[in-house]
Amino acid sequence: MARDGDDKRTIRTERDGELLWLVLDRPERLNALCGPMREEITEVLDQAARGPWRCLLIRGEGRAFCAGADLAQFVDEIDLADAEAVRTYLAQGWQEVAARLRELPLPVVSAVHGAAYGGGANLALAADLVVAAESATFCEPYVTHGISPDCGATWLLPRLVGSQHTRRLLLLGEPIAAHEAARIGLVAEVVPDGALLARARQLGTALAAKDPKALQATRELLELNQHADLRKALAREAETVAALLGGPAFRHATARFRKH
């Protein structure tokens, strides 16, 4: 596995064949989110969208995935009394990162261990597949800190776990353990800590082996049809299937069936 970006202060990337790892690398701050990290992640997302990789994997260095916002840096970066400045900061900052992750033209897998709090939890949950170590804990502590959620929490969580579990997570702000996160559908699966990276890599490799056009079309349909009525969803499915039927992946699949 080749490393890139070791001169960067807050993240690094690792190339692993067709997989690209994005590693949050502020272990002394539990990988807390900050301005430089936001800029560096944006650069990596640009590279991932343009590059030869077939899957992006995200993990954290050290004892945690990500402890959420570095509040000390946050209050130094922005005038909290200026509501317009705060809106602009969020819209052009971590809100944009959350949107870019969901819009990335390749699948994303997050590997979560230790704390995944606030924006860190929402960064992880923006992935297509979330695999959690047994040590993982997820928490949305915004209300506890006297603010409302950001990084897409109020959009993403209802789609993942439904209204009641979303309200429990956001209104109470209490942490939940990995197995509870799996039970309510917040994560795809839970593995022992020592198996986390291998399992994430296995999932990434499996995704990378799929036809990229079919994968992306399916991901887009899942986004578009979340709240579409049935007939609109069916029409979109038909349109997308028609566009893919002439592709090489489907031709190869039908050829294999004919051999049997």
Number of domains in the chain: 2
The answer on 235 and 157 residing in a single domain is no
pLDDT digits (tens, 9 = 90+) for 30-45: 999 998 999 999 999 9
pLDDT digits (tens, 9 = 90+) for 103-122: 999 999 999 999 999 999 99
The answer on 242 and 140 residing in a single domain is no
The answer on 145 and 244 residing in a single domain is no
The answer on 223 and 123 residing in a single domain is no
The answer on 247 and 187 residing in a single domain is no
The answer on 225 and 198 residing in a single domain is no
The answer on 119 and 192 residing in a single domain is yes
**What is the distance between the terminal CA atoms of the chain, rounded to a whole angstrom?**
39
Question: pLDDT at position 231, please?
Answer: 83
The answer on 190 and 107 residing in a single domain is yes
The answer on 99 and 147 residing in a single domain is yes
Which of residues 208, 225, 248 is at a domain's end? 208
The SS3 of residue 160 is helix
Which of residues 187, 208, 229 is at a domain's end? 208
Q: How far is CA 105 from CA 31, 48, 101, in A?
A: 26, 9, 9
The SS3 of residue 162 is helix
The answer on 235 and 171 residing in a single domain is no
Write out residues in the chain with pLDDT < 50, as ranges.
Answer: 5
The answer on 132 and 78 residing in a single domain is yes
Question: pLDDT at position 191, please?
Answer: 99
Identify the domain containing residue 134 by its residue range.
Answer: 2-208
The answer on 219 and 204 residing in a single domain is no
On whether the CB atoms of residues 79 and 104 are closer than 8 A, the answer is no
The per-residue pLDDT of the chain, averaged, comes to 90
CA 18 to CA 11: how far, in whole Å? 20
